[in-house]
Amino acid sequence: MSHKESIPAGVTLLAGAYTLDPAPWPPFDASVLGFLNALSENIRALPRGNVSEEMRSLGFWLRRAHLLGLREAYGRADALGLGISFHIAPANVPLLFAWSCAIGLLAGNACRVRVSGRRTGDAEQLCALIRELLADGAYAPLAKRISVLAYDRSLTDLTQRFSSECSARVVWGGDRTVEEIRRIPIRPRAVELSFPDRASLCVLGADAVLALPHEALCDLAARFYNDTYAMDQNACSCPKLVCWEESDAKTGARAASRFWNAAAKAARRYRLSEIKVTRKYGALWEYAGQNGRVCRIRRWDNLLYVLELSALSRDFPDIPMQFGSFLEYHMQEKGEWADAVSEKTQTVTFFGVSGEALMETALRGRLRGVSRIAPVGQALFMDLTWDGKNLIDSLSRRISR
């Protein structure tokens, strides 16, 4: 049967095959590692000016040396994948579909991945690279293991069909998306992983920031930029709130001024469209006008907005801070950042403070949120433990004896 005959109306096949081989493979199969490394090499061979920061990060993550390190940490000789995994990716993080697909493949599954109809040039370019590799006879075994397709979310009958066929369903998106998909049943033995709305924060040590030489400060600002602006702050691990740990108020004020000035310079390379400015500016004044905790607002043109708070609240994940907008709070005592943590808090990035102390605060405080603690610059670095879940174990099965 031809693709034209077999693909339902309303579906666009972007890469791979429509009909998948459901056989489970061992996690970290050699064919999968070879394919993903080849994809990494092709991404990294693209002209640098034509590759987004997100695409470069993906290419770096998929390189063989990194995959072998993941196999060392997560691989098991007594495991197999589950079968077909169905991945539903969000529109606001354009290449998340690729990360999700790669993880499904590494766990030993065939992967059907739905991407948004509002896909970007990055997504189109990446799908072209995948198609090119799958056409190479060396990667023929993967041709029936990957299906990247697009269809409108209103076509729920297709989501129902793919859900009924899968052994694992992975849903990335907002709370509303997760709730909608959960109404669609999966098979009794199928596994479901969902990653709904999350938000993240950053803890900075004022004394350490003040002590940085100029070049090191610029490097810190660049790493903070990569954690935030690179994804328009849309990813769940992008910090929205910056909490300062300081020896005194004067030190905190000087450190904040120095840091934000450096961050504003790092942000000069950010592509700020008119629609982003409109949304960003409107959200700034709507939140400031409705919230008595905003005690100060600073702007560096339209590239960077900083809203200083007089008190912390657990509602910060629901505040629309995007495109270079940040909440800021100067802590009165160490560990006060925990007052902002709710079950929606995902990552805490840090610089100039003890990561071990942050972990101790999370554990001793029995916080309902926080599943990652990472240095500034690693907020977007995807690990195979995400939102507190071991993704390889969750998407495979162990055979005991």
In this prediction the pTM is 0.88
Sign of CA dihedral 370, 374, 375, 377: negative
**Does pLDDT of 118 surpass 70?**
no
Other Cβ atoms within 10 Å of 374 Cβ, number: 20
Residue 215: its pLDDT value, please? 97
Compute the distance between CA of residue 200 and CA of residue 240 in angstroms, rounded to an integer: 6
pLDDT in tens, 121-168: 788 999 999 999 999 888 988 999 999 999 988 899 999 999 999 999
pLDDT of residue 93: 82
| Domains assigned to the chain | 3-196 (3.40.605.10), 199-375 (3.40.309.10)
Give yes or no for residue 182 having a pLDDT over 80.
yes
Give phi and psi for 42, each to the nearest 5: -70, -35
Phi then psi for residue 16, to 5 deg, are: 85, -155
Q: What is the structure's pLDDT at 233?
A: 84
Name the pLDDT band for 9 (thresholds 50, 70, 90).
Answer: confident
Q: Which residue has the higher pLDDT, 27 or 275?
A: 27
**pLDDT band (50, 70, 90) for residue 5:** very low
Question: Average pLDDT of 46-68?
Answer: 88
Q: Which of 99, 103, 105 is nearest to 122 (CA)?
A: 99
Give me the residue label for tokens 């916080």. Answer: 367
